[in-house]
Structure 1
């Protein structure tokens, strides 16, 4: 539980009230992480604008897959649950459970797996990244702008996830997330170092 005093919903005013209202409209409730980040509502709105610019350019499916991978690398249960719930509007629960457990074996395209590997590495060991990491994405057909957007999406997730973790924000479990999906989303980070290090083979159809 955070020691920070967040603004109660009944006492919210101005920009903070607008942020809370937006979450109530889109999610049906105001998550604890929204309340914590709204301690500086101007900064939170700037982050929201950044996310919209990135996701609209990258595409929502790719953005959410990158987000799941980055959140897994960070160990952010808050973002894994929140974005797992969002992805239920795009994917069936069984497919999402498979992705949450290990996206390498979930039936995603090789390009999507490479994109998520990149986000995972950025979130666990960014200092070790080289041009080879971007080249792997280029080899799968990603444009330079798409590579930049993947990078920005993962880096932006690091900002929000690490902020929420550092502040000790309570974990909210969104309605509609089954026990099985929760378990998959909250499972510890799999041992993926060998998969990250090994070059991925492209199929003849790619």
Structure 2
């Protein structure tokens, strides 16, 4: 035998609301916990949670008197709640329709001048050709970038720095050669051979 399917939360909520509407009375939680399982088939362990969900949704009123909580809900309240919900939904639908209409108008305006005509097609081809030409010219410009006066100026600055560095190292080599001559009485040829210094080693012009 298949197991009997339990009530969904929405079914429990509906049945609990029937308790209030049919009796038009005020209850304490303990009253609902007795009535709901017997008359509406709501599981005792879920009664409190179902009732609280109805209170949270403002479908059932709750008032604390002394140490006890009292619950009630009249059909008129439910009617007003449904009416407010309906008005809210109608307002949302109206706003959605306005947004839709506004978007449709925006699309229509955006399409003006973009109709698929021979003239537009020709202009689009011309635009693409100009874009291709620009890309080609940029590539050509990149080739001749080294002839740019600013680039040449930077190269000249770099050359000056490099030449100064070469001159410093040349000074150092001659200083070492001079020291070696005095210390060990070597001639230039022997020093050049020992240290791999070219015979024509000299300052750059």
TM-score range, shorter chain: under 0.3
Higher radius of gyration, 1 or 2 = 2
**Higher relative contact order (Cα pairs below 8 Å, separated by 6+ residues):** 1
Give the structure with the higher percent helix: 2
TM-score by length of 1: 0.23
